[in-house]
Structure 1
């Protein structure tokens, strides 16, 4: 039986932690803010050393300082996941600092600049931007870290998809399609890496109040008749607590972060190729 020995904050939540990731090293993209930050903090509190890979180095450094303030180990790295040379360099920096990579979390993502419908209002450039970051970025990161994990015959890869990848929305068609691609890529990669004792899973969050969703909620208030003129936060709450939502509570990054901790731990040793909705 697991004994929970201490209670410390994980973001704004209180989480009972048990050093489930003690001695592990996690490489997390998009960890400078939002969901990525919460996952970095929670994994650090579980004992993992964290490589914070983010396109915004200032944000990455802030998160690294938060982790160090809690006596954790962290490395801030500036990286654009669309650039294979930058990703390869970031992986090597992590290996040089910590000696290994046990966990990869692909969280870097974008919702694009425009929303639909109609689809004809969305420029071609949005397609390239969304798929380059949300799909190709994961492909590039996985390619960079796979040789190391295969050599060690051990590893955990967690890809952040979305419930929109399972139940697409007409207001975010390209985002939905990209997140569906993440689920399929996760399943394919899990089959390839299974013989090397590497588990690959996807997490499909619902709507979370992060910087990306703050921007998206603002766009909804400009385009959706029933939401016009509302504060983005009010519009967000209306969406997330609608009757179709099973649980009448706004979802927070910490809800997803604790699932990521579970998937990164030895407790999930028999789970792979799954896309878990939260």
Structure 2
């Protein structure tokens, strides 16, 4: 976790929500008031993002204490207390929505990731995320995938070379695209290519690429592709894979399955912040 980026992301989220101030809380609560509260799971799932919630509150009240009752990646049931908080009443109320937005979304991602990982139990196949993330939240969303037991694909365009169908169209052919990216990036940078057909798979194998993305293939075609590659090149399957079909796809022998919906269309986990005790103003 890049701490500088975390602090920047949290600061921007707080600025978006608080603006010039919280008119409701500031009218009702003295600066001196202190409060205890709990973060409470209201739905079964996997927790991710307590460190982000803590970062939110630390920016509003550096003296605020968040005591974890569960660890990141732990399965919880409705009614589980995730953390105890003690600090400024104003900070707890003003930061509630931002803290919960992060915690609920990241926990939702970790939950669905764990479900897929569990569905693939016993198979040597990685569950991978994609770049289909919320703008500005990629680091946190990919963190949640790891907490859920998945693995991160490339973080951004500068982290790996992947030649996809539109790149091939621009270059004129797969062979020309591979030659040009190797010339530009040098021989030590791995090259992954996208293949939609068995013919493209054979072409990619002949070009000795490092990885092949088998895109939108049905399980029967995937199995044929894996057989033709014969372990010589790392493979991943992508496109149209659902929680129900993930194991069937993994059973074809691919090394990984990449799932955009882990981050782009996940449901948030239901978590609440409940005030427990308000201390007298000093």
Q: Is the helix fraction higher in 1 or 2?
A: 1
Flag whether TM exceeds 0.5 (same fold). Answer: no
TM-score (norm 1): 0.31
TM-score (norm 2): 0.31
| Bigger radius of gyration | 2
